[in-house]
Structure 1
Amino acid sequence: MPTTVELTRFHVAPEQVERLLAVRPAMLADFRADRTGFLGARLVRLAEDQWLDIVLWRTPGDLAQSRAKGANLPGISAFFSTIDHVLSSETGTTTEGETPS
């Protein structure tokens, strides 16, 4: 079954990087506790203070429900507050036969 993939590229000021990494576990815990269909996430550090968050969802509806909730829990809010600005956001699906690990 295909998985919904959310790709968000964002900028974090250098002085916020340590905090971003420190609050990431709480954000993931809040997602696991509060977001139906959340399958996992990978955070990738790119060049020039840019980051890519790759988040896997069971369905497009699960992603839409998550977006509607926004930063409703402390761990999520703390993570989002470290982001200077979002550069891009895209969604897609995996090809058949792939499963998240």
Structure 2
Amino acid sequence: MTAIELARFTVSPEAEEAMVEGRPSMIRALRARFPGCLAAYLTKEDDGSWLDVVVWRDRTEALEAARTAPSIPECAAWFQHIATSGGLRHVDVVHSWPPATES
């Protein structure tokens, strides 16, 4: 079953540009290690906080990635931009439109 990872966090204003610029490298490294990473969306909330939305082939791979991503150098470097974490959660997709597909 497809799963979605939701990570809420803040970034200091002076680190935002570097965080966004470093994102493609981090996502490439994450996908190289975890091919079940199907899509990733970095969003900015109206209050200035960020919500990272990552779509996974299944919850097992999402949980494994959450556990081990800090050991991937590109991920560890990207995480350094985070000032405060609002938590990480995983949800299962019960229905989607368009239907979820594997890559």
TM-score range, shorter chain: 0.7 to 0.9
Report the TM-score when normalising by structure 1.
Answer: 0.87
Unaligned runs of 5+ in 2: none
Shift of 1:93: 1.7
How far apart, CA to CA, are the structure 1 residues paired with 2:72 and 2:93? 28
Show CA shifts across 1:30-64 (max 9, x none): 01101141111000011333000000111111012
Tell me, in whole angstroms, the C-alpha distance in 1 between the residues paired with 2:48 and 2:11: 6
Aligned residues, how many? 100
Tell me, in whole angstroms, the C-alpha distance in 2 between the residues paired with 1:47 and 1:89: 19
> 1:1-101 maps to which residues of 2 (within 5 A)?
2-97=1-96, 98-99=99-100
Gaps of 5+ in 1: none
The alignment-based identity, stated in percent, is 29
In structure 1, how many angstroms separate the alpha carbons of the residues matched to 2:84 and 2:34?
A: 23
Hey, which bits of structure 1, 4+ residues long, moved more than 2 A?
Answer: 95-98
Distance 2:19 2:7 in 1: 15
TM-score of the superposition, structure 2-length normalised? 0.86
Asked if the contact 2:30/2:69 (under 8 Å) is kept, the reply is no
